[in-house]
Amino acid sequence: MTPEAASEECRALCVMAPIIPVLVIGDASKARDLGRSLVAGGLPVLEVTLRTPAALDAIRELSSVEGGVVGAGTLLTTDDVLRAKAAGAAFGVTPGSTDRLLDAAEANDLPLLPGAATVSEAMRLLERGYSVQKFFPAESNGGVTALKSIGAPLPQVSFCPTGGVSPANIENYLALRNVICAGGSWVAPSPMIAGNDWEGIESLAREAATLPRQHAPDSA
């Protein structure tokens, strides 16, 4: 898969909803109910971070949720790419980008949302062909102000900011023309998952799904 093709596939996923839930799942048996709640609330694209031993099993469970598209986040190595793809991940997300990691995703036909934190990193990814990127960690790297500044010289790059994005600042991010969507964990809080509060999570998802954004789907 070429970087250009990967970005087009990721673009199609990113325009499906304003928020991509960033999920840290410690118990794979809860994954299906969690996924159903988020999808029912209007957030069909789900990112499961590979930060727990249960992550790959959770991806397998979520792969069977009707209407959902599950991807693997926190990809760091070639082995992560291979394991995520084998578990059923439809796309991958990285906190940063290395040649080896990009090579692995391209060789294994895994659409990738690669991470960038600086203008130079964003330029390097764009030079390779990635026009849709993750901006991480967003708030620590200047947040809305930084993305607005990056958008001036690099208007052809669309970003999914993640890291420190919350209900308090999300509308400011989505108001930027170079923000296609954002990644957020607040739509699936750990206490709600632990308490099986699927109605509460669906309600949070519904609120997030209605957030306005400048980068409207029909302009992507």
Reported as a pLDDT band with limits 50, 70 and 90, residue 220 is very low
Q: What is the pLDDT of residue 219?
A: 43
Q: What is the pLDDT of residue 50?
A: 98
Catalytic residue, chosen from 9, 47, 61, 106, is 47
Summarize the confidence of residues 94-123 as an average pLDDT.
Answer: 98
Is 47 marked active-site?
yes
Catalytic residue, chosen from 61, 85, 106, 134, is 134
Q: What is the pLDDT of residue 214?
A: 84
Burial of 128 (0-12, 13-18, 19+ CB in 10 A): middle
The string of pLDDT tens digits covering residues 66-101 is 999 999 999 999 999 999 999 999 999 999 999 999
Q: CA–CA separation, 162 vs 89, rounded Å?
A: 19
Please give the class, per CATH, of domain 3-214.
alpha beta
